[in-house]
């Protein structure tokens, strides 16, 4: 069996102090303990990501999709679980147990993140070039000319005209802002690209272009992706495999066609049919 480039074991992210009841596996109300109100945003999540694949993540609002993505980008501390990256010490060390400096290294060299909300991923008042360069600077680059050249390459890759590199993202349309985020996320040739609802809220025609861009990028940058979306059409178009999340848990996973054409779990069946 092929070794995954990323493996997440038993990831749990909780908000709250827990109580006897929920610690012992008592039934939750959705993701929340009825007694102590602790939110189990991710609850014993296990994921494998393989080289070159796009892994789709679907699930209703609040099911824990963004929590999973942000955990992997170290946006906050997880409660329990382990993660292993082939690109980091050959997958021998738990990435969640590393020092802050090591986590920064992983974040800047191995991972790329595109947030659903561009405000989280971009400095709206800085130039687009600066936004992309930030990632290069964070990885320790200090050569202005070299960074400038790399920014030019990345702008080309996401089809933004060089003539607009001095403009701040706040002047850009939603689709262009996502392109800037994507080029920033790709700046250091990450092994894993995390895409959280990249096309949500964009016009349909713009969505299609961004999705095509993602497909091209997978080829060009040889990067594996985790792609969160509400939209099953997006998942069908891009994802090789798909996991279905509900109330902080993975309830079903498999090849995307299998999941969408022949779902096994009642919840997935309902999800697929309601959207057909």
Partner 1 sequence: MIDTKHYNFAFLDEGSKREIRRSILKAVAIPGYQVPFGSRELPIGRGWGTGGIQITLSIIGKEDVLKVIDQGSDESVNAVNIKKMVEECTGVEITTDSEKATIIQSRHRIPEIPMRNDQILVLQVPTPEPLRIVEPKESVTKQMHAEAEYSGMWLSLFEDLTLYDKISISSEYPTMVENRYIMNPSPIPRYDNRKLNDSETLYLFGAGREKKIYAIPPHTKVESLFFDDVPFETENFEGKSCRLCGATGVFLDEIVDEATGEKVYECNDTGFCKGRRDRQHGNTNFKN
Ligand X SMILES: Nc1ncnc2c1ncn2[C@@H]1O[C@H](COP(=O)(O)OP(=O)(O)OP(=O)(O)O)[C@@H](O)[C@H]1O
Which residue, 67 or 268, is less far from ligand X as judged by CB?
A: 67
Q: Does 169 bind ligand X (CB under 6 A)?
A: no
Cα 263 to Cα 276: distance, rounded to the nearest angstrom: 13
- Closest separation between CB of residue 184 and ligand X, Å? 21
Question: Is residue 63 a contact residue for ligand X (CB under 6 A)?
Answer: yes
Residues making up the chain, counted from first to last: 276
Q: How far is the CB of 206 from partner 1 (least distance, A)?
A: 27
Per-residue contact string for residues 140-159; x = within reach of partner 1 by CB under 8 A: --xxxxxxx-----------
| Residue 90 bridge partners (DSSP) | none
DSSP result, 126-167: S-HHHHHHHHHHHTT---HHHHHHHHHHHHHHTT--GGGTTS
204 lies in the binding site for partner 1 (CB under 8 A):
no
Question: Cβ of residue 243: shortest distance to Mg ion, in angstroms?
Answer: 14
Binding segment for ligand X (CB under 6 A), chosen from 48-56, 61-69, 132-140, 205-213, is 61-69
Class of residue 35 by CB neighbours under 10 A (exposed 0-12, middle 13-18, buried 19+): middle
User: Considering CB under 8 A, how many residues would be counted as binding partner 1?
Assistant: 20
Residue 232 binds what, of partner 1, ligand X, Mg ion, none (CB under 5 to 8 Å, by partner type)?
none
Please report whether residue 130 would count as binding partner 1 according to CB under 8 A. Answer: yes
Q: Indicate the DSSP class of residue 97.
A: G
Distances (CA, A) of 212 to 114, 200, 217, 218, 227: 16, 15, 9, 10, 14
């Amino acid at each position: 069996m092929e070794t995954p480039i990323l493996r997440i074991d038993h990831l749990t992210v909780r908000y709250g102090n827990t109580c006897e009841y929920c610690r012992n596996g008592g039934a939750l109300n959705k993701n929340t303990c009825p007694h102590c109100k602790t939110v189990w945003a991710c609850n014993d999540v296990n994921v494998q990501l393989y080289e070159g694949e796009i892994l789709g993540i679907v699930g209703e609002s609040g099911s824990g999709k963004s929590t999973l993505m942000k955990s992997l980008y170290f946006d906050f501390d997880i409660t329990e679980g382990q993660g292993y990256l082939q690109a980091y010490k050959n997958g021998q060390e738990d990435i969640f147990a590393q020092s802050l400096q090591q986590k920064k290294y992983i974040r800047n060299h191995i991972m790329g993140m595109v947030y659903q909300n561009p405000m989280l991923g971009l400095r709206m008042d800085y130039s687009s070039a600066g936004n992309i360069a930030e990632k290069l600077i964070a990885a320790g680059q200090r050569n202005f000319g070299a960074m400038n050249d790399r920014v030019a390459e990345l702008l080309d890759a996401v089809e933004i005209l060089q003539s607009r590199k001095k403009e701040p993202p706040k002047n850009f349309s939603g689709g262009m802002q996502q392109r800037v985020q994507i080029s920033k996320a790709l700046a250091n040739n990450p092994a894993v690209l995390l895409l959280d609802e990249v096309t949500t809220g964009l016009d349909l025609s713009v969505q299609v272009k961004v999705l095509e861009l993602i497909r091209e990028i997978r080829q060009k940058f040889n990067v594996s992706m985790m792609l969160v979306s509400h939209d099953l059409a997006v998942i069908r178009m891009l994802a090789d495999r798909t996991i279905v999340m509900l109330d902080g848990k993975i309830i079903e996973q498999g090849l995307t066609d299998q999941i969408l054409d022949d779902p096994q779990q009642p919840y997935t069946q309902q999800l697929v049919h309601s959207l057909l």
